[in-house]
Structure 1
Amino acid sequence: MSRETDEVREAIAGELRLMDPEVRASRPLARQLLDPEFIEVGASGRRWTYDEMLAALPGMDGAPGVGPRYEPSRFTGVLLAPGLVHLTYETERDGNRVRRSSLWRRRDAAAPWQMYYHQATPVPPGTG
């Protein structure tokens, strides 16, 4: 169930910023959006840590001059608890679809929303 709250909108905005080529190319900008305890399980099955992701982002797809950008769609989100938002959405790039799930957290009202966890799951061709 999607509840379009301010918290959900802020998490979606953060997610979209992380797809921005300029943010992907900038460690300081990406650092603002990733929680220091960040973990990702990528579409390949690889587990990424905060430091690994910050180091790799500038060379990953969607960075300036590195392949096409992801086309996101079907965002849904829910505030699970104060300071914790769960987002789900899909991306498409070069005809390949991926279902994505992210947890965004804010440690206190003055802190920014940061991605705490992300998982990407490829969608097999022909799957709805």
Structure 2
Amino acid sequence: MVAGSSGDDPQVSDVIAAEYETLTPECRADPGRLGGFLAPDFHEFGASGAEFGVEGTAERVAAYTDPEGEAIRVERMRGFRLADGLVMVKYTSENNGRRAHRTSLWRRVAPGRWQMFHHQGTPTVDSRTRPD
């Protein structure tokens, strides 16, 4: 059952705000801040093809993030409530010239508190290099 991507759903709105926060250079450069958004069972398939668990993820992201740098560009972010306390977010990102389609799954862990437990990034196909 998908409740949809309406901004009228406070669960979807809360999760989209949290997702945007995780994309700011200030959050990404601070392992404690970013780590607070990651569930203990967090799992990621990165756009690089690598697979990551929660262990060391916030520190790894912080190591390559300039807190004064540009924010990751986001297109078409939308959220879908899959069930009460479970929201999926989808968007396209661009970071340092690399574009990826992204999906995150978030669960509510306390009233008003959400954690991401799964994330996947898939590189986009550049239309200039895509075969006809």
CA contact (8 A) 2:73 2:94 kept: yes
Please tell me whether the aligned partners of residues 86 and 107 of structure 2 are also in contact (alpha carbons under 8 angstroms).
yes
Runs (4+) of structure 1 moved beyond 6 Å? Answer: none
SS at structure 1 position matched to 2:119: strand
Contact (CA 8 Å) 1:20, 1:63: kept in 2 or not? Answer: no
Q: Helix, strand or coil: the match of 2:113? A: coil
Distance 1:2 1:28 in 2: 29
Structure 1 CA distance, aligned partners of 2:40 and 2:52?
Answer: 12
1:24-65 alpha-carbon deviations (Å, 9 max, x no partner): 1212211221111111100011111111212201123x4425
- Structure number, greater radius of gyration: 2
SS state at 2:61 partner = helix
Q: What are the within-5 Å matches in structure 2 for residues 31-110 of structure 1?
A: 31-60=35-64, 62-64=65-67, 68-108=70-110, 110=111
**The structure with more helix, counted as a fraction of residues:** 1
Equivalent AA in structure 2 for residue 101 of structure 1: T
TM superposition score normalised by structure 1: 0.86
Q: Distance in 2 between matches of 1:80 and 1:10?
A: 14
Q: CA deviation at 1:75?
A: 1.0
Question: Counterpart in 1 of 2:119?
Answer: 118
Give the alignment's Cα RMSD to 1 decimal: 1.8
Aligned length: 124
Matched ranges for 1:21-40 at <5 A: 21-40=25-44
1:88 to partner: Cα distance? 0.4
How many Å separate the matches in 2 of 1:48 and 1:8?
25
The separation in 2 between residues aligned to 1:51 and 1:63, in whole angstroms, is: 21
Calculate percent identity across the aligned residue pairs.
Answer: 35
Which structure 2 residue ranges, 5 or more long, are not aligned? none
State TM-score, norm by structure 2.
0.84
